Amino acid sequence: MNNLDNIGQTFQWAGQRYMAIMQPFAEKIFLGLVLIEVIITCVHFLTDQDEPTRLLAELVKKSLALGFLYAMIVNAPIWFSAIIQGFQQIGGQAAGIPDLSPSTVFNNGLAMFQTIYRGFGSLGWFHVTIAALIALVAGLIMFLSFALIAGQMLLALSEAYIGVGGGVLILGFSGSRWTIKFAEGFIGWIAGVGIKLFFLYLLVGVGITITAGWNAALTGWTVADPSLPLTIAGGALIFMLLAWKIPDTAAALVGGAVSLNLSHAFEAVMAGYGLGRILTSQKTAGAESGATLEGGHSLGASLEAGDKAAAANNGARSASARPTARMPASGDGVPSPPPSGNQTAWVGRSSATQQAKHTGQTALL
């Protein structure tokens, strides 16, 4: 019986049809948000009067990030389908069951229940014992446990197919820094679904191996012994709990980690923009402080030169204001000027000439 596989195939076809419808709308939303983002970025740079080279660098960075996101929208049918199918194939090969599917798990549980039911039916209604009823209830628990595990696998597959098909529209909101969180959540969710399938296939592979031993043990089981069915039922319940808990925990951890990464492209751009503004303002402030310091040095030098000139002028004034030595007054009461250096030298030469003439006359006599 492959009813569960047919249900999964139907969800896969529906997801592909939804993706073909949603993809053009996602591209229009993305391009519109990119246009708004570029306009706002240019307005910010023009308002701050930043350098054109910095604006060009930021636009290049944003173009790279937005180009990757746009490629993700265009190639979503190929990329996301490859992610889901890749996790399925890796999990199945690691578990040793390449063709593992929800129907395989369901059929294993059904086979164990049929074994117990055939033993119960062989007794007849008039020979039913309490041990046989207990074994029948245990068989029902086995079947329900494996049915829930198969349902978990089908739920994960259907979630992936429908999520990828309809969720491609959410990728269109990755064109702006204000709406990129929607796309981050979607990418994290898809990654979480893939990890959930991977761990689920690993656990189910282990469970199928254990189920082969249970089927072999039930082959020689007798209705009068309910201990074996109860033991298998307890193991099936534990197996079901593990298959529900572990994949969900792994999906939550991986999904949360992925949701923190997509915005780094925009955060790095805004951080670089803010750092550039800080460095520019610091350079401007440093230039202004240097100019002020240089002006202060020149002003101090001017003041020092002015003080020196004032001191020299005051010295000249004090020298001109000193008293001059005067010669004693002559007989006519008119003060004679002080002898200068030239006059003193002339008097000396006259006296020497007169003495030479007097010596010559003495010699002649």
Non-local (6+) Cβ contacts of 201 within 8 A are 87, 88, 91, 92, 94, 95, 100, 153
Dihedral over Cα of 340, 346, 349, 350: its sign: negative
Average pLDDT of span 245-261: 72
For the chain, the farthest-separated pair of C-alpha atoms sits apart, in whole angstroms, at 200
The answer to whether 153 and 102 have CB atoms below 8 angstroms apart is: yes
Q: What is the DSSP letter of 51?
A: -
CA–CA gap between residue 198 and residue 204 (Å, rounded): 10
Q: Within a 10 A sphere around the Cβ of 123, how many other Cβ atoms? A: 13
> Which of 3-17, 41-55, 166-180, 317-331 is predicted least confidently?
317-331
Q: How many helices (H) and strands (E) does the chain have?
A: 9, 0
Q: Is 27 inside a domain boundary?
A: yes
Domain that holds residue 21: 17-280
CA–CA gap between residue 94 and residue 88 (Å, rounded): 10
Q: Is 115 inside a domain boundary?
A: yes
Alpha helices in 259-320 (DSSP H): 264-320
Residue 144 pLDDT grade (very low, low, confident, very high; cuts 50, 70, 90): very high
Average pLDDT of span 238-263: 75
Average pLDDT of span 252-268: 56
Average pLDDT of span 109-129: 74
CA–CA gap between residue 87 and residue 275 (Å, rounded): 41
Q: What is the pLDDT of residue 363?
A: 39
Residue 124 pLDDT grade (very low, low, confident, very high; cuts 50, 70, 90): low
Q: Is 226 inside a domain boundary?
A: yes
Q: Is 299 inside a domain boundary?
A: no
Cα-Cα-Cα-Cα torsion 44, 46, 51, 53, nearest 10 degrees, comes to 80
Q: Is 195 inside a domain boundary?
A: yes
Residue type, 27: E
Residue 274 pLDDT grade (very low, low, confident, very high; cuts 50, 70, 90): low
The answer to whether 201 and 243 have CB atoms below 8 angstroms apart is: no
Q: What is the pLDDT of residue 256?
A: 60
CA–CA gap between residue 46 and residue 39 (Å, rounded): 11
Non-local (6+) Cβ contacts of 161 within 8 A are 8, 11, 12, 14, 15, 16, 84
Q: Is 6 inside a domain boundary?
A: no
Q: Is pLDDT of 283 > 50?
A: yes
Q: Is 38 inside a domain boundary?
A: yes
Q: Which helix (H) or strand (E) holds 116?
A: helix 102-121
Q: Is 340 inside a domain boundary?
A: no
Number of domains in the chain: 1
Number of residues that make up the chain:
365
Residue 353 pLDDT grade (very low, low, confident, very high; cuts 50, 70, 90): very low
